[in-house]
Structure 1
Amino acid sequence: MSTSNALTARQILQDPRRNRGTSFSQEERRRYGLEGLLPPAVLPLDRQIARVKAEVAALDNDLQKYLLLSDLQARNDTLFYATVMSDPAQFMPIVYTPTVGEACQKFDHIFRATRGVYLPITARGRVDELLANWPVEDVRFIVVTDGERILGLGDLGVGGMGIPIGKLALYTACAGVPPEVCLPVMLDVGTNNQALLDDPLYLGLRRRRVRGEQYDAFLAEFVEAVQARFPKCCIQWEDFANFNAVSLLARYRDRICTYNDDIQGTAAIALAGIYGGLRITGQKLSEQRFLFLGAGAAATGIAGLITQAMMQEGLSREQALQRTALFDVNGLLVSSRDDLADFQRPFALDHAPVDRFVDAIQALRPTGIIGVSTVPHLFDKDVIEAMSALNERPIIFPYSNPTSRSECTAEEAYRWSDGRAIFASGSPFAPVTFNGRTFVPGQGNNVYIFPALGMAIYATEATRVTDEMFIVAAQAVAEQVSAADLEKGLIYPPQQSILEASLRVATRVANFIHDRGFARASRPADMAAHIRACAYRPDYPGIVDFSVAA
């Protein structure tokens, strides 16, 4: 075997898109110079999956499971996605939240194979040059973060890269977006986390965060470079601090194909849960009142989408805004407060100040409370009992994640409401048995929204993302919850069927994109069939040309 053949074989085995590991046939091994480089047995994909599952099952630590799967993704994309998609309910909490939070916190100490593109602000003026090093020319999705507000964990600097990597894995696993069109990006503008700056293993820039004009110019250069190099690319902003998240979305949403999952995706999954809960109560959205614990970008995003959805049911904007209230560390958001940000002011009520959340419940009489505070245990017994006294079926949504940040547990919500709560949380909780009845808590996970939205954008080559698309997605999610699931208290489709659910949501959103004239691609005669044809399915293709240039 020549040196060139040996190099080609090595490249094949080290390329996660080409590598099939022990599934290479004997003919392929001879053709590509792989003989002797693999054990003799030829195993089909399903047997490889079984082996990975056995490896995962042998571990009793979720972070170790995360690392095992990350290593697998670095060497064999097909096997990684085939494994995750074989049992999404089992693997999503490992690949993404809640385990990804710990992985981000320990990123510098567990770093293995690199993935994605890191753009430090020290490369300002050369962003396009760095993006050019990415080997794929047709990138359709970039999930990008600057690491400042990772989940509910705060500033994790360059360790925030775990979030774009995990999000894009779910684009593929949950909705079939081809993995080769996805690019995770980390914008390293420094960190204000002193523990990271003092850590000799920290992998990011050792400087305080850049703010103001330098930051804005760096972000603008990034957006311009993406538009020039990847003209069909959608940019998803992820885990930016509230003031940057809101301003970036406002600046670019009407100029490019972009959205913020923390604001719009979280809003849509909350709205989907509300729609699902209203299928239990038989009421209309426009008849509800909601009180939020937390008043950041997520809270205002949810409140804003609820407002728009209520307006679709006939309320005026003013009427709809009167049915949403926000509560933060300084109390109820009221018009007399002088500490409110511009994005919070539309939701400030003409009301006397209220300093305790339970008192705000008594004063405003909400039908639902939504927690996006990232502070655990704030939905205490007094809060749940107050909601239960006002409502036959109180809506209790502690959406903060990871699990350690949830405003209450599922067991607390069901027990303190005497089994009457309509419950959903941001992180998973096990089924709860109370008074002889078993409840299955729903997880208000954005995974029901952003992968499906991504598939719709991919299939239509959309030029914009609008709030109305998220309302359509929320409605499509809620409609798929069966009567049997509702009876168990489950207000989202089972995660085990997430791919089917996502493809149906994507079909609805894609039709909406075409209806509103945002599609670049031609409209197919059968949208559902087109979406399915676009979807990635993890399998090894027939014999292909694995030349070095491939």
Structure 2
Amino acid sequence: TLLKDPFYMGLYQKRDRSQVYDDLIDEFMEAITDRYGQNTLIQFEDFGNHNAFRFLRKYREKYCTFNDDIQGTASVALAGLLAAQKATGKPLSEQKVLFLGAGEAALGIANLIVMAMTESGVSAEEAYGRIWMFDKYGLLVEGREQIVDSNQEPFTHRAPEQIPKTFVEAVNVLRPSAIIGVAGAGRLFSQDVIKAMASINERPIIFALSNPTVKAECTAEEAYTLTEGRCLFASGSPFDLVTLKDGRTFKPGQGNNAYIFPGVALAVILSSVRHISDKVFLEAAKALAEQLTDEELAQGRLYPPLSNIREVSIYIAVKV
């Protein structure tokens, strides 16, 4: 359809997915660093799942680069979970997380959660075991018919005795303390899903991170209303204040990558580092969570106001 659109700004030909594509990216990376220097910061954005991970692996030790969809999203989501533990009193290492979606965003978040858990003393095996994923084919389990990507294998577990066919069934079978939506498929955190989370947990963690708003897994109003204000909610898109019937008002937190990449970029540029490790994004997540006040947490926020982004970015840069 795009190729037939007279206003299409690309080349009027099908995308080349052969070695020519890789050669073009190689040429670009070499040209940028030849022109501006080896410590030029190159940010990858909106690459497909397959290409995003392989290019990150390919270039991260050769160039100063990161992938915002994988690492930036992971960092801001982890920051939300670290902030949530202040309210629940339950450490990250004891959370059980169920993802809706198993693409680059989910995998990026999951891997950084594992890194944070293992840093706290949990074994890698236990950390991976606390994270489950549910994609368009169902739960990621061993032996399922659909192919599991190599990046998904660490999060592919032995099937439970009762294999859930729907996401709400997965919630009821696995009984997670947190659900994170990154499927980009709209309102899949149904009323039944949210009510199930509320019945399982005193303070359910519900992250509807897909954007734009029309693709969000649920609205802030649905999350707060159906959990009677008990949930810890974050979204990828902005939502208005939510006022419950009892008069309590909540300010939904927006898990926006804009909290992370400015501070990380500032730190990288000022320190002139050549390579960016995942540790950078772990420290950025901690630094972001540290800036949330008790008052903001009581209001329902899991992130400081975006209006404070300059101060937030400087704090993250210093910590990183």
> Which amino acid letter does the alignment assign opposite residue 334 of structure 1?
V
- Report how far residue 452 of structure 1 moved: 0.5
- Report how far residue 451 of structure 1 moved: 0.7
> Which amino acid letter does the alignment assign opposite residue 315 of structure 1?
V
- Residues of 2 paired with 1:345 and 1:359: CA distance? 22
Give runs of aligned pairs for residues 476-515 of structure 1, distance below 5 A.
Answer: 476-509=287-320
1:429 to 217, 223, 239: 239
2:96 counterpart of 1:289: yes
> Which amino acid letter does the alignment assign opposite residue 430 of structure 1?
D
Q: Secondary structure at the match of 1:384?
A: helix
Identity of aligned residues (%): 50
2:205 to 375, 395, 416: 395
- Residues of 2 paired with 1:499 and 1:481: CA distance? 15
Q: Deviations over 1:12-49 (max 9, x none)?
A: xxxxxxxxxxxxxxxxxxxxxxxxxxxxxxxxxxxxxx
- Report how far residue 499 of structure 1 moved: 0.5
- Residues of 1 paired with 2:45 and 2:7: CA distance? 24
Q: Deviations over 1:263-316 (max 9, x none)?
A: 000000000000111111122110101000000000011000000100011111
Q: Deviations over 1:341-397 (max 9, x none)?
A: 111111101114432111111111110000000011100100000101110000000
Q: Secondary structure at the match of 2:313?
A: helix
Other-structure match for 1:357: 167
Q: Secondary structure at the match of 1:286?
A: helix
1:440 to 251, 254, 260: 251
2:91 counterpart of 1:280: no
How many residue pairs align between the two structures? 315
2:41 counterpart of 1:234: yes
> Which amino acid letter does the alignment assign opposite residue 10 of structure 2?
G
Other-structure match for 2:186: 376
Other-structure match for 1:407: 217
Stretches of 4+ aligned residues off by more than 3 angstroms: none
- Residues of 2 paired with 1:438 and 1:487: CA distance? 10
Q: Secondary structure at the match of 1:314?
A: coil
Could you say which structure has the greater relative contact order, defined with CA pairs below 8 angstroms and 6 or more residues apart? Answer: 2
- Residues of 1 paired with 2:159 and 2:135: CA distance? 15
Q: Deviations over 1:396-430 (max 9, x none)?
A: 00000111110000000001111111000001000
2:153 to 333, 345, 348: 345
Q: Secondary structure at the match of 2:186?
A: coil
Other-structure match for 1:261: 68
Q: Secondary structure at the match of 2:14?
A: coil
- Residues of 2 paired with 1:245 and 1:391: CA distance? 35
- Residues of 2 paired with 1:246 and 1:201: CA distance? 31
Q: Secondary structure at the match of 1:375?
A: coil
Q: Secondary structure at the match of 2:58?
A: helix
> Which amino acid letter does the alignment assign opposite residue 179 of structure 2?
I
- Report how far residue 202 of structure 1 moved: 1.6
Q: Secondary structure at the match of 1:471?
A: helix
TM normalised by structure 1 equals 0.57
Q: Deviations over 1:92-124 (max 9, x none)?
A: xxxxxxxxxxxxxxxxxxxxxxxxxxxxxxxxx
- Residues of 2 paired with 1:317 and 1:213: CA distance? 35
Other-structure match for 2:16: 210
> Which amino acid letter does the alignment assign opposite residue 218 of structure 1?
L
- Residues of 2 paired with 1:201 and 1:298: CA distance? 31
2:30 counterpart of 1:224: yes
- Report how far residue 212 of structure 1 moved: 2.2
2:116 to 309, 312, 325: 309
Q: CA RMSD in A?
A: 0.9
> Which amino acid letter does the alignment assign opposite residue 149 of structure 2?
A
> Which amino acid letter does the alignment assign opposite residue 360 of structure 1?
A
Other-structure match for 1:161: none
Unmatched 5+ stretches in structure 1: 1-193, 510-550
Other-structure match for 1:474: 285
Q: Secondary structure at the match of 2:233?
A: strand
Q: Deviations over 1:38-61 (max 9, x none)?
A: xxxxxxxxxxxxxxxxxxxxxxxx
- Residues of 1 paired with 2:33 and 2:140: CA distance? 38
- Residues of 2 paired with 1:297 and 1:355: CA distance? 23
Could you tell which deviates more after superposition, 310-319 or 354-363? 354-363
Other-structure match for 1:247: 54
2:80 counterpart of 1:270: no
Give runs of aligned pairs for residues 117-128 of structure 1, distance below 5 A.
Answer: none
- Residues of 2 paired with 1:235 and 1:346: CA distance? 28
2:256 counterpart of 1:450: no
- Residues of 1 paired with 2:120 and 2:173: CA distance? 25
Unmatched 5+ stretches in structure 2: none
Other-structure match for 1:103: none
- Residues of 2 paired with 1:448 and 1:307: CA distance? 21
- Residues of 1 paired with 2:187 and 2:250: CA distance? 20
- Residues of 2 paired with 1:247 and 1:400: CA distance? 23
2:3 counterpart of 1:197: yes
> Which amino acid letter does the alignment assign opposite residue 414 of structure 1?
Y
Q: Which of the two has higher C-alpha Rg?
A: 1
